Amino acid sequence: MTGTSNSRETESRHRVQWPVEVVLILALLVAGMWFGVQVRRIWLRSSFTDFALVWTAARHFSGGAALYDVEGLRAHPFGSFYKYPPFVGVFLAPFASMRTFVRDIASASRPTTFGREAWAVDPLTRKVYVRSVTDTLPAAEAELLRRAVLNETDDVDAQDLSSDGRRVYDLLRATGVREVDAALKQLPAAMQERLDAMSPLRYLHDVRAPLIVIGHDQDDLVIPVDESRRLRDALIGRRGVEYTEFAMFEHADPTKRHLSPLRMVQQMVKFYRHIYPMFRLAS
């Protein structure tokens, strides 16, 4: 009798949950359709053609091309990328400073409210980091260090490297936070300038968009959320700044998180409130 009673309770529970799940799925579909219509409407506006430039840059980067034109950034940070000032600045899971980002990657740790904690650095993040700090070296030397560090072969004789190469190699081998900071200070001035030129914090004063939207997933394995918090803090006092942290993404990818239906709905509402100012400004 007990087994029969439990079976009936389970069936009853399933009957109750089924309509709820259907309603949630329908709500998500309607929200997705609304979002698609709004994106298409804004896409057709001439002021949103910046998105095509960002998309092209992302596609080229995924194919192995350099993400930054450092010389272009130095000459004119935003004019190189936009035909006119964008009406909204969107930062989704960004980093703020290449120096702090390097510290996190090299030390495999990230800052929290209560200090630093271990961080499992994403392989893509480490690859981009290694390529970035070796990019100014002679091609053969840069390739030697990349193979040694990324493949963890450690088959490099420091005596065979140039002066700049040895300093970069010291940075790539550093693991502790203090060790990394010391290695950063020993880099040639040109390389330190390059790191600063790649840091969005340096150019925030050039962003004249009336709306700046920053979003980051709290447990991002590619870029620590503290990088977005640095951007947010640097923009304190400026009007038109929207900042949101999410729990439904894994570096902007919602397919890798498995949340309960209720939790997902809560995150979708947060996402809607995050993007709504863009649609309000564009309408």
pLDDT digits (tens, 9 = 90+) for 126-159: 898 898 888 888 999 989 899 888 887 767 788 8
Is residue 147 in some structural domain? yes
Determine the Cα–Cα distance for residues 58 and 141; give it in Å rounded to an integer.
27
Determine the Cα–Cα distance for residues 242 and 84; give it in Å rounded to an integer.
22
Is residue 248 in some structural domain? no
Is residue 237 in some structural domain? no
Tell me which residue range forms the domain holding 146: 98-197
Determine the Cα–Cα distance for residues 132 and 123; give it in Å rounded to an integer.
14
Note if the pTM is more than 0.85: no
Nearest to 269 by CA among 252, 247, 241, 240: 247
Residue 24: the pLDDT is: 73
Give me the amino acid identity at 205.
H
Is residue 13 in some structural domain? no
Is residue 159 in some structural domain? yes
Most confident of 152-156, 174-178, 250-254, 277-281: 174-178
Give me the amino acid identity at 34.
W
Determine the Cα–Cα distance for residues 188 and 170; give it in Å rounded to an integer.
12
* Tens digits of residue pLDDT in 206-259: 777 788 888 888 888 888 889 999 999 999 988 888 898 888 777 666 677 777
Q: How many domains does the chain have?
A: 1
Order of strands, sheet of 88-92, starting from the edge strand that comes earlier in the sequence: 88-92, 211-217, 241-246
Q: Is the pLDDT of residue 104 over 90?
A: yes
Is residue 136 in some structural domain? yes
Is residue 210 in some structural domain? no
Is residue 3 in some structural domain? no
